[in-house]
Amino acid sequence: METNQPSKTIYYTKPEQLDTFLAKVMPEPETPPGLLITHSAGYWLKKASAKPIPKMLFGRLWYEGEICTLFADSNLGKSILAVQIANCINTGKAMQPFEVEAKAQPTLYLDFELSDKQFEARYSENYENHYNFREDFSRSELNPDNAVPPGFSDFDEYLIAALERDIVQKKIKVVIVDNLTYLRNETEQAKDALPLMKQLKALKNKYDLSMLILAHTPKRDLSQQITLNDLQGSKMLMNFCDSAFTIGQSNVDKDLRYLKQIKQRNTNQVYGYSNVCLCRITKPSNFLKYEFAGYGNELDHLKKPNDRMNQDEIDQAVQLRNEGLSLREIGKKMNITHQKVDRLIKASAQ
């Protein structure tokens, strides 16, 4: 008679131990092909026809088998939405209006943002009445006491190996990484983004995964539409991801967020600037989540041109203020009124 005993956790301290484990559970690898794999166009069509059609994981924003990027500024709720998406995929229950066509799948959430207590606060009622996640919804956080063992060249290599171990052990099909900066430093630099995305893509192809990668945007002009150029390391990251979407904050209502489609390969653009999805963050019981509030035009939620302030002026005013000058003294130096100086300094805090 089978019993639901928890599986024993296996810890690896050396690369060869991981290799031994993977060799036991994975089939013998085929001889790798050359740089180019060339067949007739008809062959490729026949080969592709034998594969299943990718199903929606989060509506038209993310499909099975894709590396998808979700990017936004800090404090807009990327992690809140990402956990909600992970739970929808893990349970097979959609967040309206975004369909989940795929069957429920084992999901791994790499949480490099929150402590376990912060996570508990979001998915409980005052630290009681915890939300009942499924057993095959796994969450990982970094072990601060674990040093890079001998045999690994650096932390990044060790982290990717640990991720692969969990994927195999727990039969994971969906991986969500929150967030990109913890897998590599300075991801805005192409030289750092390129090897990172290559390793993630290699894992995705090896284990037939779907991946959602969270990333930050640098400081941006809030009067302009969000584009792929607002993603840190945008060129390299966009080249390697299959799809991307973003979260923006409404200038009309600070509690309102909008989701906008940035890149897509398996569908037409549905949620462009003229049809963004409006949402509010709510917590009706023990699950902090996004709640659909309708559709809108991104242009209606941007700062108006007459609200824009010159960033160079803001930086200069703040620097002079930090040097101890009064508003009037700053105004004289910058040849503007002291009232405008006050507005510039207040704008720097927004």
Lowest mean pLDDT segment, chosen from 2-6, 56-60, 299-303, 340-344: 2-6
How many C-beta neighbours within 10 Å does residue 119 have? 17
Same structural domain, 281 and 316: no
Residue 309 is predicted with a pLDDT of 62
Which one has a higher pLDDT value, 105 or 26?
A: 105
Q: Is residue 7 part of a domain?
A: no
Confidence of residue 186 (pLDDT cuts 50, 70, 90): very low
Report the CATH number that the domain containing residue 128 is assigned in CATH. Answer: 3.40.50.300
Same structural domain, 231 and 291: yes
Same structural domain, 192 and 328: no
Q: Is residue 142 part of a domain?
A: yes
Kindly report the CA angle at 290 between 109 and 113, in degrees rounded to 5? Answer: 35
Same structural domain, 282 and 230: yes
What percentage of the chain exceeds 70 in pLDDT?
Answer: 83
Q: What are phi and psi of 233, to 5 degrees?
A: 65, 35
Give the helix/strand (H/E) hosting 66.
Answer: none
Same structural domain, 318 and 276: no
Average pLDDT over residues 127-140: 97
Give the range of the structural domain holding residue 114, as residue numbers without chain letter. Answer: 52-301
Non-local CB neighbours of 138 within 8 Å, separated by 6+ positions: 106, 107, 108, 109, 166, 170, 172
Residue 65 has pLDDT above 50, yes or no: yes
> Is 133 in contact with 87 (CB distance < 8 Å)?
yes
Same structural domain, 114 and 193: yes
Residue 188 has pLDDT above 50, yes or no: no
Average pLDDT over residues 206-222: 88
Average pLDDT over residues 85-109: 96
Residue identified by tokens 């509506």 is: 59
Same structural domain, 266 and 343: no
Q: Is residue 20 part of a domain?
A: no
> Is 274 in contact with 109 (CB distance < 8 Å)?
no
Instruction: Kindly report the average pLDDT of the chain as a whole number.
Output: 86
Lowest mean pLDDT segment, chosen from 1-5, 58-62, 99-103, 326-330: 1-5
Q: Is residue 19 part of a domain?
A: no
Same structural domain, 158 and 211: yes
Same structural domain, 213 and 344: no
Strand order in the sheet with 137-140: 137-140, 107-111, 174-178, 210-216, 67-72, 243-249, 256-263, 276-282, 289-296
Same structural domain, 258 and 151: yes
C-alpha atoms less than 13 angstroms from C-alpha of 272 in its C-beta half-sphere: 6
Nearest to 279 by CA among 246, 303, 304: 246
Same structural domain, 159 and 81: yes
Confidence of residue 69 (pLDDT cuts 50, 70, 90): very high
Q: Cα–Cα distance between 129 and 123 in angstroms, integer? A: 9
Q: Is residue 88 part of a domain?
A: yes
Domain count, the chain: 2
Lowest mean pLDDT segment, chosen from 29-43, 94-108, 246-260: 29-43
Confidence of residue 221 (pLDDT cuts 50, 70, 90): confident
- Locate 50 and state its tokens: 């034998």
Q: What are phi and psi of 224, to 5 degrees?
A: -110, 150
Q: Is residue 314 part of a domain?
A: yes
Q: Is residue 155 part of a domain?
A: yes
Same structural domain, 228 and 321: no
Q: Is residue 280 part of a domain?
A: yes
Average pLDDT over residues 274-282: 97
pTM reported for the whole predicted model: 0.79
